[in-house]
Amino acid sequence: MLEGDQGYPYIIRREQDEIDRYGVSSMASTAQSLGYKAFGLHILSEFPLPELPRTDQPGILGSVQVVQADLSERWEAIPKITPNLGTAENEVMFIVKDTAVFSIQNGSKITVSPAAGADPISIRLFILGSCMGVLLMQKGILALHGSALVLDNKAYALVGRSGAGKSTLASYLMDQGHLLVSDDVIPVLVQNGDPLAVPGYPQQKLWQQSLDYLGMNSSAYRPLIKRETKFAIPVHDRFQAEPLPLAGIFELSVSQEGPVTIEEISGLERFHTLYNHTYQKAIVDRIGVREWHFGMLASFVNRLPVYRLTRPEQGFSAPEQMALIFETITQKVKEMDL
């Protein structure tokens, strides 16, 4: 936990302190890089990243530089896959209108070319999201799209389509005392066929509806993007900072009605579930890493129980979901002990 952490107001004070200290009213400083810890990486950034814990220690997955530079000529020259995405050997570039052009190279460097008047919060959102997802692929690290939490002293991932309720359930579990490992991007390090969940950083993203269900006042938090109703929730005191074995995956789905149910996914469907919930899945083929991706999933998919947790579309059912999850975990532990 960061000393003096008081949630969102602390984030704002820390961000302003870094801007004042390093003279980065334009967000980036060419004079000095700051060292941070996230996704198993030591991140040396010219951009203040106040969401992240500071560190000067090496990361278990290596280091990455985040720098600012003019990318206009490189963006024009790079072969385009879509109007907003380009790739060349060991480099992926993408552009976000009114925000920035981003370049990710060799799993070790992120270059940002901000648009005039761009919102620094939006730029950071893409640095810590899409850029990190691509960079982890370049480093040969699988990233799942979802939330990972500590349950029964191990990490479990919650995955599912947008609107399935991942963040709401994760936040409810945290309210019950369970720590967050990662939100949105879950790096998975595979060692001797055993998957390890690597922590992201101590922040959760919640929609307004989730805040309403959980009795949280949105005025206490900042929107992730201006005029949107998804908010950044600091969780420094509810964060698991060290890697843990990934012991299972719960895919959340929604039905029109009926009780909360759970079923184990087996066979080839288990592989497809992991594939479908890979972070930045859409670019796996486009950047030429399909063979690596399939091999990575195959290396541990049969060692990891995968379940489908289905909830009714209407109402707040997080308590029932939590009860079924722990019942399933307890039963699996008993089966393994026999």
What is the rounded CA–CA span in Å between residue 45 and residue 300? Answer: 33
With vertex at residue 159, the alpha carbon angle to CA 267 and CA 241, rounded to the nearest 5 degrees, is 115
Structure tokens at 331: 């039963």
pLDDT by residue (tens digit) across 292-320? 999 999 999 999 999 999 999 998 999 99
pLDDT at residue 111 tops 80: yes
Report residue 338's pLDDT band, with 50, 70 and 90 as the boundaries. Answer: low
Give the pLDDT mean for 251-274: 94
Higher-confidence residue of 16 and 167: namely: 167
Give the integer Cα–Cα distance in Å for 253 and 248. Answer: 16
Q: How far apart are CA 264 and CA 273, in angstroms?
A: 12
Tokens of 289: 């890493």
106-120, 140-154, 323-337 — which is least confidently predicted?
A: 323-337
Query: What local confidence, expressed as pLDDT, does residue 26 receive?
Result: 43
pLDDT in tens, 175-228: 999 999 999 999 999 988 899 999 999 999 887 888 887 888 887 787 876 656
Does the pLDDT value for residue 120 go beyond 80? yes
pLDDT tens digits for range 138-161: 999 999 999 999 999 999 999 999
Record the tokens describing residue 21, joined without a space.
């200290």
Instruction: Please tell me the number of Cα atoms within 13 Å of 85 on its side-chain side.
Output: 12
pLDDT at 5 over 80: no
Query: What is the C-alpha to C-alpha distance for residues 163 and 186, in angstroms, rounded to an integer?
Result: 18
Look-up of token digits 């895919």: 251
Q: What is the mean pLDDT of residues 264-286?
A: 93
CA distance 107 to 134: 8
Mean pLDDT, the chain, rounded, equals: 88
* Structure token digits, residue 29: 């400083």
User: E strands along the chain, which residues?
Assistant: 34-38, 41-45, 63-68, 80-82, 85-88, 91-96, 100-105, 109-114, 142-151, 154-160, 180-191, 194-197, 203-207, 222-223, 230-234, 244-255, 261-265, 306-312
